Amino acid sequence: MDKKRGYHHGNLRSALVEAALELITEKGPTGFTLSEAAKQAGVTPAAVYRHFEGREDLIAEAARQGYEIFADLMDYAYQSGQPSALAAFEATGRAYLAFARRYPGHYIAMFESGISVNRTPELAAVATRARGVLEKAATDLSRHIPEDKRPPASMFSAHIWAMSHGVVELFARNSPGAQSPFLPEDLLETGIGIYLRGLGLIAPDR
């Protein structure tokens, strides 16, 4: 059946993003052309330009959709840990790893494409919302630290974001030469544990 049949304005745009996500996963964010995305979606190259000015616009839309999914997943993880601030915080770290595994195309568009989160107001807004969930979890947890020893919540959350991102990049995405005898989930959990023990938020023997 010809894929071109039955497309409407809205679902053609979605089909192009889906095609881009497949190509991003397979070839990387710079390994395909708009013509290839059009072919993958079963439309003419001219149809792509009715929706996107260039490949970067298409990738930016994939990134925006990824951040929407990511923010929702992070928020679900945060809520699932309530009323424990510690459980909520740890759940957001695990959600980062789960997202990278389940949505590789979106993850690459968001973090490995070179597309700035400030490219569009919509992309900037949803990226801020995603970061805000982790910062909210850090704020809740940091209330258990004496005020004179409490790091800013934005720093606290940035440390965990960086740790989660590092585990994903090095050990959860089949990076060449980066092997570990430990599961990425275990690396992240123990890393967060060490960090939280250093802040006095969990017992030394946990």
pLDDT at 1 over 70: no
Residues 70 and 45 in one domain: no
Q: 117 with 124: CB under 8 angstroms?
A: yes
For 140-154, the pLDDT digits (tens) are 888 888 888 888 888
DSSP 177-197: T---SS-HHHHHHHHHHHHHH
Are residues 36 and 137 located together in one domain of the fold?
no
Query: Does 205 map to a domain?
Result: no
Same domain for 71 and 119, yes or no, is: yes
How many CA within 13 A on the CB side of residue 140?
18
Q: Is-contact 105 62, C-beta < 8 A?
A: yes
CATH number of the domain that residue 47 is part of: 1.10.10.60
How many structural domains compose the chain? 2
Q: Are residues 95 and 180 in the same domain?
A: yes
The predicted structure's pLDDT at residue 22: 94
- Which range (63-72, 83-92, 101-110) has the least confidence? 83-92
Rounded to two decimals, what is the model's pTM?
0.84
Verify that 97 and 186 share a domain, yes or no: yes
In a domain, 135, yes or no: yes
Residue 142 lies in a domain: yes
**Are 95 and 148 members of one domain?**
yes
**95 and 47 in a common domain:** no
Q: What is the extent of the structural domain holding 12? A: 1-52
pLDDT for 4: 46
The C-alpha atoms of residue 57 and residue 71 are separated, in whole angstroms, by 21
CA distance 136 to 89: 9
User: Do 25 and 88 fall into the same domain?
Assistant: no
